[in-house]
């Protein structure tokens, strides 16, 4: 993210750069519209007033939006990509609130899925039901990757993140209890990475 600072007298003003993206595509084929929408959601962009998408500036995001513009033109549409700054803090904060609201919805969906996962495993443990290690760990990997993708888009410390971090840790611990794998939760700059690692019994003895 690029933030430029300027000094006006004794007052220092931070100007955060934004990417502003607008586009139009023919109604058919619908796959092109769906593809662009998915690209924008994956980047973490937020839609404002049904026509413009906003995203904090980064070189990678700019390159991906330029690639999206080329894809749009190749499919008979038009795309506009601008770099901009908010003229006041309220405008900036309004966009940040929209971004956090989008991340909050994503975290909520993840928490709901993780809660179901934990409940299923805990039920199997309580009834001593046989657990298929491969399927349990594959689902844990899917949930962990999903969590990491949201965290990568969460640039403004969404308040909903701690609940997501907590349930991912619970999911890893539940998988460990059910399968004998170690749910390791490491924190790197506050980002939890849940790794399922097989215990090597007798190794190193």
| Domains of the chain by residue range | 3-85, 92-198
**The pLDDT of residue 33:** 93
Express each pLDDT in 105-120 by its tens digit.
Answer: 999 999 999 999 999 9
What is the fold, at CATH topology level, of the domain defined by 3-85?
Answer: Alpha-Beta Plaits (3.30.70)
Question: CB under 8 Å to 172, separation ≥6 — which residues?
Answer: 140, 144, 183, 184, 185, 194, 195, 196
Distance of alpha carbon 72 from alpha carbon 52, whole angstroms = 15
Express each pLDDT in 48-57 by its tens digit.
Answer: 877 799 999 9
Question: CB under 8 Å to 60, separation ≥6 — which residues?
Answer: none
Express each pLDDT in 6-43 by its tens digit.
Answer: 333 333 334 689 999 999 999 998 999 999 999 999 99
Full-model pTM: 0.74
């Amino acid at each position: 993210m690029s933030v430029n600072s300027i000094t006006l007298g004794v007052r220092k003003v931070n100007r955060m750069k934004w990417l502003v993206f607008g586009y139009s595509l023919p109604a058919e084929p619908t796959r092109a519209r769906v593809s662009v929408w998915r690209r924008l959601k994956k980047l973490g962009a937020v839609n404002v007033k049904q026509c413009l998408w906003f995203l904090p500036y980064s070189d990678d995001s700019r390159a991906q939006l330029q690639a999206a513009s080329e894809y749009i033109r190749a499919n008979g549409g038009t795309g506009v990509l601008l770099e901009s700054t908010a003229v006041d803090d309220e405008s900036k904060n309004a966009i940040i609130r929209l971004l956090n609201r989008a991340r909050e919805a994503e975290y909520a969906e993840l928490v709901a899925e993780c809660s179901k996962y934990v409940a299923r495993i805990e039920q199997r443990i309580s009834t001593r039901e046989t657990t298929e290690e491969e399927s349990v760990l594959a689902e844990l990997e899917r949930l962990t990757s999903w969590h990491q993708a949201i965290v990568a888009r969460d640039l403004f410390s969404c308040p909903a993140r701690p609940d997501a971090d907590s349930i991912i840790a619970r999911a890893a611990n539940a998988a460990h209890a059910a399968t004998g794998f170690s749910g390791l939760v490491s924190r790197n700059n506050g980002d939890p990475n849940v790794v399922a690692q097989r215990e090597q019994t007798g190794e190193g003895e």
